[in-house]
Amino acid sequence: MDEDKLIMIDTQTDLMELLSKYSEYPLQALGMCIKTITDCYV
């Protein structure tokens, strides 16, 4: 795998951990993930 794919896999893992860490607050956790994604990739 190239470096970009490894970074994307690592990022996806981090976002999934964030969602599971705040599973009792699903909308807020989803909002944090969406904000992170838009800040980093848009």
Each residue's pLDDT tens digit, 13-34: 988 888 888 889 989 988 988 8
pLDDT of residue 29: 87
Cα–Cα distance measured from residue 26 to residue 19, given in angstroms and rounded to the nearest whole number:
7
CA distances from 37 to 3, 8, 41 (A): 19, 11, 6
**Taking a C-beta distance cutoff of 8 angstroms, is the pair 16, 27 a contact?**
no
pLDDT at 42: 64
- 7: pLDDT strictly greater than 90: no
Crossing angle of helices 26-41 and 3-21, in 10° steps, is: 160
* Interatomic CA distance for residues 33 and 14, integer angstroms: 10
The pLDDT assigned to 11 comes to 85
Residue 24, pLDDT score: 93
More confident residue, 4 or 1: 4
